[in-house]
Amino acid sequence: MSETEAAARLAAVRLVTVQAAIARAAALAGRPADAIELVAVSKTRTPQEIAPLIAAGHRSFGENRVQEAEAKWPALRAATPGLRLHLVGQLQSNKAEAAVRLFDAIHALDRPSLLTALAAAMAKTGRRPDCYVQVNIGEEPQKGGCAIADLPALLDAAVAAGLPVAGLMAVPPADTEAAPYFALLAKLARRHDLAALSMGMSGDYETAAMLGATCVRVGTALFGDRG
């Protein structure tokens, strides 16, 4: 077996394993598995590492940085139409236009200045990627995300600006039980009549699927540990 064939087989096995885990978790919660989009977080991964997962049939990917994504994804998209790209890291306002041009979903709306920049970029480009408002669900000063108390005002401003707000996103504190934070994010989404929840990563995506996630962001479980 060639190295390329071995990589393709391993990618397919990892993909099926994660998909099956999501399906089991969704079933336990009485949810359809296809209600949950699996985003393969490909930050720091090379096109050569990403290609086997695309060959296995996966189509949704996530990147943390606009500049890194600009270097990788135009060629990958040209080779495989229909790929869906998510920005799952923090976004600087001066990168808003580049992000709007490249991504299909932006999971990092967390402050009024970025809201203004995104609205201007969408008006200029005519592209309208889905926007998730990132909530600092654990009230951690070192993390991005709007404060829970500031969420109503930010959502009102986003609606007034005409942004396509899909839902909420959060990253729970590390090394703690994620379930209470996922439940809180789901409660906030219901309170504001938002359907989408971007939550859950490699260590807790099954819990997120059970608690209402519509989008899970999985890296290591699909790509393996970084060398």
Predicted local distance difference test score (pLDDT) of residue 6: 85
Per-residue confidence band for 3, with pLDDT thresholds at 50, 70 and 90: confident
> Looking at residue 23, what is its pLDDT?
97
Q: Which of 148, 143, 116, 141 is nearest to 131 (CA)?
A: 116
In sequence order, which ranges of the chain are alpha helices (DSSP H)? 3-28, 47-55, 66-79, 96-102, 112-125, 151-160, 179-191, 205-210, 220-223
For the chain, give me the number of helices (H) and strands (E)? 9, 8
DSSP-based three-state secondary structure for 73: helix
The model's pLDDT over 15-67, given as tens digits with 9 standing for 90+, comes to: 999 999 999 999 999 999 999 999 999 999 999 999 999 999 999 999 999 99
For residue 85, give the DSSP letter.
E
DSSP 41: E
Specify the number of domains making up the chain: 1
The encoded tokens of residue 170 equal 């959060």
According to DSSP, the residues that pair with 196 across neighbouring strands are 167
Q: Of 1, 40, 35, 47, which Cα lies nearest the Cα of 17?
A: 40
Q: How far apart are CA 185 and CA 189, in angstroms?
A: 6
The residue-averaged pLDDT of 138-163 equals 95
Q: What is the CATH number of the domain that holds 170?
A: 3.20.20.10
Contacts of 186 (CB under 8 A, 6+ apart): 197, 211, 212
Domain with 11 in it = 3-223
**Banded pLDDT at 142 (limits 50, 70, 90):** confident
154-190 per-position pLDDT tens digit:
999 999 999 999 999 999 999 899 999 999 999 999 9
3-state SS, residue 51: helix
**Residue 71: which pLDDT band, with cuts at 50, 70 and 90?**
very high
- What is the pLDDT averaged over residues 183-209? 97
Rounded Cα distance, 13 and 38, in Å = 15
Instruction: List alpha helices for 29-150, DSSP H.
Output: 47-55, 66-79, 96-102, 112-125
Q: What is the pLDDT of residues 84-107, one digit of tens each?
A: 999 999 999 999 999 999 999 999
Q: Output the pLDDT for position 227.
A: 61
Neighbouring C-alpha atoms within 13 Å toward the C-beta of 139: 4
Residue 219 has pLDDT above 70, yes or no: yes
Question: 86, 108 in Cβ contact below 8 A?
Answer: no
Where residue 7 falls among pLDDT bands split at 50, 70, 90? confident
